[in-house]
Amino acid sequence: MYYKKNKKSVLYRNTGLYSSMTIKFCAILCAVTIFSCEDATKENETNDDQHTSWRNHGGGPDQSRYVVQNEITESNVKDLEVEWFYPTGDKNSYQFNPIIVDSVMYVLARNNSLVALNATTGKEIWIHANLTGIARRGINYWESKDGKDKRLIFQMNNNLQAIDADTGKSILSFGNDGLVSLKEGLNRNPNMLSRVQSPNPGAIFEDLIILGSAPGEGYMSAPGYLRAYNVVTGKLAWTFHTVPQPGEYGYDTWPKDAYKYVGGVNSWGEITLDSKSGIAYIPLGSPTYDFYGADRIGSNLYGNSILALDARTGKRIWHYQMVHHDLWDYDATAAPQLMTVNIKGKEIEAVAVVPKHGFVFVFDRHTGESLWPIEERPVPPSKIEGEEAWPTQPFPTVFPPTSSISMTKDDLGEVFLSKEEREEWMLMIDSMETGLFTPLSDKNRTLVIPGANGGVEFGSTASNPEKGILYVIGINMPSTYERLRTEDEMIKLDEEAGERARSLGKNDSPLYQQNCAVCHGQDRSGQLGPSLIGIEQKYDFKQFHQLMVTGRGEMPSFAHIKDEEIKSLYDFITKLSSGNNSSVSNEIRSGPVVDSGGAPGGQIVVSSNTAHRYGAPYPKGVQVDHERLFLRGYGLELPYIIDPPWSEIMAYDINEGKLKWKRPLGNDLEANALGFQNTGVMRGFPNGMIISSNGLVFSTSKDGNVYAFDADTGKELWKSKLPTGTIGLPSMYNVNGRQYLVIPSATPVKFGRNTRLGSDDNDEKPDPQGGYVVYALPEN
């Protein structure tokens, strides 16, 4: 189904060691001219053409979100109007970044189906239905040199799969009957792993797909090895151990047996490729357990690093660690930005990277040498016996951070805190440890800023690679953490929750209280996580089971819960809903369905009844002299305690070493009604940008609008209200000389104090229809 608009009617202790390998300096980006999608080159895009199409997640291999175009200008951007709208056809909150190849757009919609659309009209070409468990933020496109073999490569239920891009049918010659297991080869028992796949799609280079992972946040989760697979055969081409093994570089930054049990150090964000030099720039996240590291004493390479690898072989070229021994979940997830800069008359090919904590690091992209000074500064020690926080952290000295890095009583919010709450918080802040790089405590509450959500998240960087300008969306939001607890204490809390549930009788569930209530609330209306009221309208039991077993995003896996218990939990949650309790249907009722369910066996998700809620025991023979500590929740429930602006968009001039401009992004309408303006928006997921060669910045916002700003000044030039909110990344493309902007709009908008991060609560009134909104200038 599609709608055509009415023509009349009118978003890483750094060792300081770099590889001695020298790499031939790349040529400056060539000037490019506009051409239609039909003229795009085959197989891999070069730096010359990658900025005129959107064949990759984030635009081109360099993830710049930069588009060369001159049709939409500063003077006519106000005339953009909706050309067509494709509804998703369900209530799922899609985070998908559409890709466009020639005149075909590929989107995720209709109960997690891949849909090929005519990019000029929105008309359905084919639907591959029922891809439950597909990586939700994007897919990869590859084609052979002769253009005869065209593939969509994606992750689903911890497997890699391929679909024929022309027909929409699964390619069963890929891997083992169409599947390549991502649980294999990770130095863990595959049957003990609940999830591995990344929500982001990875990156294509020549005949390889390079993948990160999202193995979860707990003890004994999988290590985040980087891997490349052949896109035709599915055969593993190379592996890079992000937790080094004996004899490998960085092994001495860990306890001797750490590689046997430490997880994480994974790339769940965006991978950037220099298609000329063949270097992949990969941002890496924290080791697990995220918030307590007594079993991983050391600086922990390659945790929280930017890593430059030979994309063909997986060999390390250089690295830099932006957070040592991370205790705050300060992953690097946003795409490293490649640009040519001119510093004091010297032209340098650079890479800029911004981790969650919002510090801006800029390096020579071939040597890893920092282009601007970085200082190692003392930071607070841990007060927990057995923990050894790293004594210093790297601070870039030139560029200001994107977001607030301290919070005092004076920063307490005046918007949504009552007088009594402000007084209570002023007393609490006096008694709490607060600020950047403050280790969590096992005795008291801690306030850390930026919080676990940043700062800067995936999707929140872009650049003009020719002018050396970096664009960033930043969040000003603290995390307030309860004290760390032992496993026995956590189990006791679970038991107490179960007792409370039993005391309430048949209208409550011990399973729910022990596993769900802390995030979703006693009444299921949402707390740290979204509301579960009406969940049966979004997930049938099969989809709910898959979500419980594998986890998703901030939601951990509950693979320790038996299948029959998951069924009992689903029945409990859904039977209490008011209104329609009918489950969603996997049936696509209309449209050109050509296949369903992916490759055979790709839908199978099995609970691991040997899994452990608080992490499996350490391997036999491994001696770790500490007691595990755990955090209850992610500290994300109080975003409103700080004054706005809560979200901002900004530009850094990397040539001059300065912040060029900065402004709030979006507005909280409830705060506006109370007399506060330019607030930005409290949000848990990022929005995205597109940078135009002729001086425009397009950006989405959590307030349900898409904006256009002047790239030099940040002045707002245009705004358009979307049918609902957006957490997917926008795309821009050209077909037959006409420029189009597509915005995924499929997330309910929430404002005010009751905004919950990533919330998709149902209101009493039905949510508006979400979908993909395509803008263009009116035809002459």
Spatial distance between the Cα atoms of 615 and 598, rounded to a whole number of angstroms: 31
| pLDDT number for residue 568 | 79
Question: Which of 223, 334, 213, 224 has its CA nearest to residue 283?
Answer: 334
Q: Which helix (H) or strand (E) holds 566?
A: helix 563-575
* pLDDT tens by residue, 28-51: 333 333 333 333 334 444 445 789
Other CB atoms within a 10 A radius of the CB of residue 564 amount to: 9
| pLDDT number for residue 527 | 55
How does DSSP assign 701-733, residue by residue? -TTSEEEEEETTT--EEEEEE-SSB--SPPEEE
> Residues spanned by CATH 2.140.10.10 within the chain?
3-10+12-482+634-776
In contact, 576 and 569? CB cutoff 8 Å:
no
* Segments of the chain scoring below 70 in pLDDT: 1-48, 504-507, 514, 518-519, 521-523, 525-530, 550, 552-557, 559-560, 576-589, 607-611, 683-685, 754-767
Contacts of 652 (CB under 8 A, 6+ apart): 352, 360, 399, 469, 470, 471, 472, 658, 659, 660
Query: Side by side, which strands form the sheet with 208-211?
Result: 203-205, 208-211, 226-230, 236-240
Q: How far apart are the first and last CA of the chain?
A: 27
In contact, 96 and 138? CB cutoff 8 Å:
yes
| pLDDT number for residue 552 | 67
pTM higher than 0.85: yes
Contacts of 7 (CB under 8 A, 6+ apart): 778, 779
Spatial distance between the Cα atoms of 3 and 35, rounded to a whole number of angstroms: 27
Please list the residues that pair with 699 across neighbouring strands.
Answer: 689, 707
Establish how many alpha carbons lie within 13 A of residue 332's alpha carbon, considering only the half-sphere containing its beta carbon. Answer: 30
Chain-centroid distance of CA 103 in Å reads 27
> In 455-530, where does DSSP find H-type helix?
487-503, 510-515, 517-520
In contact, 676 and 756? CB cutoff 8 Å:
no
Please list the residues that pair with 743 across neighbouring strands.
Answer: 773
For residue 60, cis peptide bond before it (omega within 30 degrees of 0): no
According to CATH, the topology of domain 485-630 is Cytochrome Bc1 Complex; Chain D, domain 2 (1.10.760)
Position of tokens 């391929």? 162
Spatial distance between the Cα atoms of 582 and 600, rounded to a whole number of angstroms: 28
Structure tokens at 377: 């500064």
* pLDDT tens by residue, 688-734: 999 999 999 999 999 999 999 999 999 999 999 999 999 889 999 99
How does DSSP assign 317-379, residue by residue? EEEEESSSS-SS-----SPPEEEEEEETTEEEEEEEE--TT---EEEETTT--BSS-EEEEE-
* pLDDT tens by residue, 612-624: 778 889 999 998 9
Class of domain 3-10+12-482+634-776: mainly beta
Provide the strand spans (E) within 208-265: 208-211, 226-230, 236-240, 263-264
> Residues spanned by CATH 1.10.760.10 within the chain?
485-630
DSSP state letter for 311: T
CA angle 687, 281, 656 (to 5 degrees): 75
Give how far Cα 568 sits from Cα of 510, 539, 562, 571, Å.
Answer: 11, 15, 10, 5
